[in-house]
Structure 1
């Protein structure tokens, strides 16, 4: 169904999830908090 399709990197419906571009993440002890992200 192409009515639900949102082209990547546009603001047609919503922003794309930035974690799509994340290559490597250094996590911390806090859940949901990253020390460093390589994109």
Structure 2
């Protein structure tokens, strides 16, 4: 289980860094974040 937690945390950290880079280059959220909606 601890391996899965570490893997999920690494993926989360990577996604956050990728998103921050996208924002700095484009001045807006990534499309998958900007267009995100709660599932019904």
Scaled by the length of structure 2, what TM-score is found? 0.19
Q: Which has the higher helix share?
A: 2
Q: Which has the higher contact order (CA 8 A, sep 6+)?
A: 1
Greater fraction of residues in strand: 1
Instruction: Report the TM-score when normalising by structure 1.
Output: 0.19
